[in-house]
Amino acid sequence: MYVDRHPFRVLVGIAVLASALAADAACMEVIAHRGASGYLPEHTLPAYALGYGLGAHWIEPDLVLTADDVPIALHDSTLERTTDVATVYPDRRRDDGRYYARDFAYVEIARLRVVEPRPNRYPHATFHVPRLEDVLQLVHGLNRTTGRNVGVYPELKHPELQPDLADVVVAVLSRYDVPVRLQSFDAHVLAKLATDHPRVQLVRNATQTEDGGLDQIATYAAGIGVSSFALTDDATLVARAHERGLLVHVFTLRADDERRGRFADEVIGLAAQGVDGVFTDHPDQVLAALESMPGCAR
């Protein structure tokens, strides 16, 4: 991974300290959100491989458990939004009309094709739902063949529906030598994780980003993950997190989100605020925007 700023600071010397610090603030880690999901369907091996190839520093799988306790890469607790489950297994829906991953063995889920829910994105049902094990093999293998050291940054999804998820995931992670960060919105699950991997607390309410909330998070986590809107609402948040030794990672940057302004401006604005990393569907476009900033190399 590229974030090794200290040698750079030494080289630039005291005379250009101010500009060096500005450059430091510009460099951010790039996390391929659900893979390079702007280009290929989310949470598929090709999307992860593309994210890797486009230069992301971290690959993000969201994780849920199957009926036979296999952690798979899936955002939702159910399969109908992103797969053809309703066609392949029409009789397996619950009374609420939904198809829960927890009701299927992995061998059954492996028969499904992933479909892209966003209409302007990848149009074909080409790929399958991978296991965490597949994601780790992909990244570990690519690290071997490329000499890079890209990490895997899993999110523990829906822990209230699958209390065993954290332990199962930690056990699978222990079999692969790749950098790992773990993230969850669930503070209880994250705080009691039995692992040495750094943890990032995803936050969704304002109480967590008050001083007391950050103090609490800093007792177990290496960072926070926040919506970009949280930074718009609170210009002090990055500095207050950094004061407590917490990284700040922002979700989710999408270059095809028409509600936002120019993508590069958003990236540069976050970097200028001192944000440490971004989850993005378009890792290449984040890296391209960062390259326009002095001192911020890949």
Residues at the contact surface with ligand G3P, assessed by CB under 6 A? 33, 62, 75, 155, 183, 202, 225, 251-252, 279
CB of 289 to Ca ion, least distance (A): 22
122, interface contact from ligand G3P, Ca ion, none, CB < 5-8 Å by kind: none
| Active-site hit among 43, 57, 75, 197 | 75
225, interface contact from ligand G3P, Ca ion, none, CB < 5-8 Å by kind: ligand G3P
CB of 60 to ligand G3P, least distance (A): 6
Q: Among this protein's residues, is 33 annotated catalytic? A: yes
| Active-site hit among 33, 43, 158, 282 | 33
Interaction site with Ca ion (CB under 5 A): 62, 155
Question: Judged by CB, which is closer to Ca ion: 116, or 155?
Answer: 155
The secondary structure of the chain as a DSSP string is -----HHHHHHHTGGGHHHHHHHHHH--EEEEETTTTTTS-TT-HHHHHHHHHTT-SEEE-EEEE-TT--EEE-SSSBSTTTB-HHHH-GGG--TTS--BGGGS-HHHHTT--B---STTS-------PPBHHHHHHHHHHHHHHH----EE--EE--TTT-TTHHHHHHHHHTTS-S-B-EEES-HHHHHT----S-EEEE--SGGGGSHHHHHHHTTT-SEEEEEHHHHHH-TTHHHHHHHTT-EEEEEEE-TT-TTSS-HHHHHHHHHHTT--EEEES-HHHHHHHHHTSTT---
CB of 243 to Ca ion, least distance (A): 26
Question: Judged by CB, which is closer to Ca ion: 62, or 284?
Answer: 62
Q: Which two tokens stand for residue 235?
A: 């210009």
282, interface contact from Ca ion, ligand G3P, none, CB < 5-8 Å by kind: none
CB of 133 to ligand G3P, least distance (A): 20
What is the number of the residue whose Cβ is closest to Ca ion?
155
Question: Judged by CB, which is closer to ligand G3P: 76, or 284?
Answer: 76
What is the number of the residue whose Cβ is closest to ligand G3P?
251
Question: Judged by CB, which is closer to ligand G3P: 252, or 273?
Answer: 252
Q: Which residues are catalytic?
A: 33, 75
